[in-house]
């Protein structure tokens, strides 16, 4: 228990470090750019910068604190795991495919290279344990925050039809407490004895385990999440992704613990890390694309894709998935009918709609200011083109394709 305040003090150093706040504002900029796409695509925006800063900081600190204690509990040390190689390979892989920047791929490949060829020389169980814990923190943040700021989009479904959906993109700055290990040195400062079973993931050191000294120090990390919701609401989609990622991280962490005690089994987490990470992505993508799209207009009425915060339709209580049946007594099933109904009265509006959750038909009337924005984004109808195209190819592959097309 004496280690708890020591870890917390080191964690606070990370939180108040200027680099952490630089990362915060970098992520706010990325979120702002993502929010700006709504104005580009639909001509409207409800981005709240201060709200984004608040949630970015709060959830990032929460995830970092949880991750810090998990890291220390399992005894993850950054000594000898090849952080430089990890980042270098991640950037190279990103040029092939954007999602390959994830450490699950670069960490797995580095581990396999170390096992098969002896280069680079890294502690495979420790490296895989780090990857597992980062994914565990990511799954937690996706669960509680992954659906926030979802961007409504029009894209093509598996059958080629244009459907509505949500692009889920989140970033979090993670202040975290990590460990470093050394052997054969004289410790200075406060020294604590550790239980015989710790660390759970045994480091690979030249000296004996009794000769190891662990140092606690603050570091910074950043996590990101990208997904697409077509056949489920953003909140349900993010919960599904968080669950799958949580299972993946738990299994990888278990294999890392096992491999640290039986070094001959290090190949298991090294293979599991990239292969099963790719499997989880493909499972989620196929489940989404092959599922029944829900953001399409029904035969009768117009489906709400999103209502902007504090807009007329938001104050009326309409939400994603609701179906507008009548406006000012006029049945609406197309954009033309919608514009006609809006033009009938400029100072008040009566809307009859069917709720997505319960299927009940409701009617609500509200006064509005003259020329007040309605804040309504509807699901795509007949003739609406897609405004985003699903693409994850990296810069390198795109350039190769451009050259092939140029010379073909």
User: How much is the pLDDT for 38?
Assistant: 80
Burial degree of 218 (CB within 10 A; 0-12, 13-18, 19+): buried
Q: What is the DSSP letter of 231?
A: S
* Segment 91-119 mean pLDDT: 90
Task: Tell me the C-alpha distance between 353 and 168, whole Å.
Answer: 27
The answer to whether residue 267 is domain-embedded is yes
Both tokens of residue 78?
Answer: 């950054």
Q: Mark whether 285 and 354 lie in a shared domain.
A: no
- Mean pLDDT, rounded, for 219-229: 87
What does the alpha-carbon distance between residue 62 and residue 138 come to, in Å, rounded to a whole number?
A: 11
pTM, two decimal places = 0.88
357: containing domain: 302-378
Amino acid 154: pLDDT = 92
Note whether residue 392 is domain-resident.
Answer: no
CATH number of residue 360's parent domain: 2.30.42.10
Burial class of residue 385 in the structure, from the number of CB atoms within 10 Å of its CB (0-12 exposed, 13-18 middle, 19+ buried): exposed
Task: Report the distance separating Cα 332 and Cα 298, nearest Å.
Answer: 11
The verdict on 85 and 123 lying in the same domain is: yes
Contacts of 8 (CB under 8 A, 6+ apart): 65
The confidence score (pLDDT) of residue 323 equals: 95
CB 373 within 8 A of CB 311: yes
Mean pLDDT of 377-395: 76
* Integer Cα distance of 129 and 15 in angstroms: 23
d(CA 68, CA 62): 10
Same domain, 15 and 101: yes
pLDDT of residue 345 exceeding 70, the answer is no
Taking only the tens place, the pLDDT of each residue in 167-205 is 998 889 999 988 888 765 555 556 666 778 888 998 886
| Number of domains, the chain | 2
Q: Are residues 270 and 169 in the same domain?
A: yes
Q: In angstroms, rounded to a whole number, what is the distance separating the alpha carbons of residues 43 and 38? A: 7
- Residue 5's pLDDT is 86
Element (H, E) at 361: strand 361-367
252 with 226, same domain: the answer is: yes
325 within some domain: yes
Question: How far is the C-alpha of 48 from the C-alpha of 319, rounded, in Å?
Answer: 19
Per residue in 266-317, pLDDT (tens digit) is 999 999 999 999 999 888 888 888 888 999 988 889 999 999 888 888 889 8
Cβ-contact 44, 377 below 8 angstroms = yes
Question: Are residues 312 and 229 part of one domain?
Answer: no
Flag whether pLDDT at 64 surpasses 90: yes
Question: E strand or H helix at 223, and its extent?
Answer: strand 212-229
Local structure of 311: helix, strand or coil: coil
Cα separation, 331 vs 354, whole angstroms: 13
């Amino acid at each position: 228990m004496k280690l708890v305040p020591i870890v917390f003090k080191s964690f606070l150093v990370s939180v108040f470090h200027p680099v952490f706040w630089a990362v915060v504002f970098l992520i706010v900029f990325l979120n702002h750019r993502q929010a700006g796409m709504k104005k580009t695509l639909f001509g409207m925006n409800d981005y709240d910068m201060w709200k984004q800063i608040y949630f970015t900081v709060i959830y990032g600190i929460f995830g970092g604190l949880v991750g810090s204690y998990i890291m220390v509990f399992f005894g993850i040390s950054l000594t000898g795991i090849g952080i430089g190689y990890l980042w270098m390979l991640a950037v190279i892989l990103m040029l092939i495919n954007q999602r390959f920047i994830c450490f699950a791929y670069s960490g797995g490949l580095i581990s396999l290279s170390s096992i098969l060829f002896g280069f680079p020389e890294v502690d495979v169980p420790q490296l895989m344990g780090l990857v597992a814990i980062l994914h565990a923190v990511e799954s937690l943040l996706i669960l509680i925050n992954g659906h926030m700021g979802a961007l409504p989009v029009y894209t093509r479904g598996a059958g080629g039809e244009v459907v509505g959906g949500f692009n889920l993109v989140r970033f979090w700055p993670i202040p975290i407490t990590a460990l470093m290990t050394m052997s054969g040195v004289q410790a200075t400062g406060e020294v604590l004895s550790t239980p015989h079973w710790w660390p759970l993931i045994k480091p690979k050191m030249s000296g004996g385990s009794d000769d190891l000294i662990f140092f606690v120090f603050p570091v910074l990390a950043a996590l990101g999440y990208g997904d697409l919701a077509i056949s489920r609401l953003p909140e349900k989609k993010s919960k599904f992704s968080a669950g799958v990622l949580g299972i993946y991280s738990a299994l990888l962490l278990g294999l890392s613990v096992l491999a640290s005690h039986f070094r001959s089994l290090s190949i298991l987490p090294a293979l599991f890390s990239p292969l099963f990470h790719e499997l989880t992505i493909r499972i989620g993508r196929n489940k989404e694309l092959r599922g029944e799209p829900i953001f399409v207009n029904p035969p009768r009425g117009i489906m709400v894709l999103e209502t902007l915060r504090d807009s007329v339709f938001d104050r009326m209580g309409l939400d994603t998935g609701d179906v507008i049946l009548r406006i000012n007594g006029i049945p609406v099933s197309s954009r033309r009918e919608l514009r006609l109904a809006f033009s009938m009265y400029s100072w008040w509006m009566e809307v009859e709609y069917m709720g997505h959750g319960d299927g009940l038909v409701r009617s609500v009337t509200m006064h509005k200011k003259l020329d007040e924005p309605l804040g309504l984004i509807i699901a795509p109808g007949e003739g609406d083109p897609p405004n985003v195209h699903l693409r994850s190819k990296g810069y390198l592959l795109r350039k190769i394709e451009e050259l092939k097309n140029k010379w073909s």
